[in-house]
């Protein structure tokens, strides 16, 4: 059996750091940061940065659309029947997808939909804006942690390899 690779190790470290940060914050939801970290850990920094950018754009789009829907639902038009609410949420995926494509961010499309549904379905008792902002913060933490872990472990491995090369010559 092959030992887990570096990407697996980086992912586990990033997720644990997200959990620790959430524990210290005391008011986040570690799930969102952990998911962002898992999605953003890639084989190299270039891919991690690209994925992190797409994830952040998707989070902004989904959070804004979700907060807007919740504001309308809570302030103007309450949707009392759950099936009607689900139908409306499903139909609202169209503008979320369209907007992502319109701003030339097709790689962010599916995540925009996931964030939108996350905000609108899991909103608990928070106000729409605070819930959306909290999801943005949690996700941003996960992205930042993933980028840091990817960079730090890449740097450490590079130094380690350079030191092994020096040791071989002496």
1 lies in some domain: no
CA distances from 108 to 55, 99, 105 (A): 6, 10, 6
Q: What is the pLDDT confidence band of residue 135, given thresholds at 50, 70 and 90?
A: confident
Predicted local distance difference test score (pLDDT) of residue 162: 62
The tens digit of pLDDT for each residue in 11-38 reads: 999 999 999 999 998 877 788 899 999 9
Residue 155 has pLDDT above 90, yes or no: no
| Total tally of structural domains belonging to the chain | 1
Domain assignment of residue 62, given as a range? 6-169
Beta-carbon contacts of residue 75 (< 8 Å; ≥ 6 apart): none
The pLDDT of 68-96, averaged and rounded, is 88
CA distances from 139 to 48, 51, 169 (A): 14, 12, 45
Query: pLDDT exceeding 90 applies to what percent of the chain?
Result: 49
The pLDDT of 98-107, averaged and rounded, is 92
Mean pLDDT of the chain: 86
Q: What is the pLDDT confidence band of residue 170, given thresholds at 50, 70 and 90?
A: very low
91 lies in some domain: yes
51 lies in some domain: yes
57 lies in some domain: yes
């Amino acid at each position: 059996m092959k030992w887990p690779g570096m990407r697996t190790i980086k992912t586990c470290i990033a997720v644990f750091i997200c959990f620790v940060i959430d524990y210290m914050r005391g008011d986040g939801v570690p799930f969102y940061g952990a998911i962002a970290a898992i999605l953003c850990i890639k084989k190299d920094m270039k891919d991690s940065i690209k994925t992190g950018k797409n994830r952040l754009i998707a989070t902004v789009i989904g959070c804004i659309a979700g907060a807007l829907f919740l504001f309308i639902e809570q302030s103007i038009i309450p949707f009392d029947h759950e099936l009607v609410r689900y139908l409306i949420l499903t139909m609202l995926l169209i503008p979320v997808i369209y907007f992502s494509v319109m701003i030339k961010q097709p790689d962010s499309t599916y995540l925009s939909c996931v964030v939108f549904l996350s905000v609108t379905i899991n909103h608990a008792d928070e106000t729409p804006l605070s819930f959306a902002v909290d999801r943005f913060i949690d996700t941003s933490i996960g992205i930042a942690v993933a980028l840091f872990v990817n960079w730090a472990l890449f740097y450490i491995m590079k130094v380690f390899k350079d030191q092994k090369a020096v040791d071989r010559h002496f």
